[in-house]
Copies of this chain bind each other. A is one copy, B any other.
């Protein structure tokens, strides 16, 4: 066996691998500590590359965190797509509850992404970090996705109604994630209730007839 692993890496100069190592480290730390809490030094230590090397790969901290968001969102979308492929040809109602189950799955799979994203969302600082804007964009996309989804499930609903349900769904989802982080509630359970609730709201408003 044998290869003298340790020293090797430094000379090898593998840009792609280094970039990934940095992003991995940054994603982990930023997911736990937020933007300000993510020091370049910490990323350097966790990734094994000197701080100055981070600056070869990323212009500055801002762009590093933005890149973290971008990559995480790609992964998120990718995971979503994999799940979506499984349920072509379902009835609306089946699709709905399946979609809710999948959403719960997503939250559980990407806690760092969501934690960081929500922290960025909540921050209100003079100069918005690029990362915040990027996450904002993913929220807009997610809402659009939700609208399309609900549009297919509740075919008779108008735009305004769909909008209300979409917002409620996203809000419920974010809130459940926080409750899971904070009080340790079970996300899957929470989503089941949420599904009923959204459906129930539609019924209660008289938008749909109560059969399931």
Contact = CB atoms under 8 A, between A and B. Distances in A.
Interface of A: 31-34, 36-37, 115, 118-119, 121-125, 136, 139-140, 143, 164-165, 167-168, 170-176, 178-179, 181-183, 185, 189-190, 193-194, 196-205, 210
Contacts of A34: 34, 36, 119, 122-123
Copies of the chain in the assembly: 4
Contacts of A204: 196-197, 199-200, 203, 210
A212 to B, nearest CB: 8
Nearest to A37: B36
Scoring A31, A115, A170, A189 by chain B CB atoms within 10 A of each residue's CB, the highest score goes to: A170
19 contacts: A31-B124, A34-B34, A34-B36, A34-B122, A121-B178, A122-B122, A122-B178, A143-B183, A167-B193, A171-B171, A171-B172, A171-B174, A172-B175, A172-B197, A197-B197, A197-B198, A203-B203, A204-B210, A210-B210
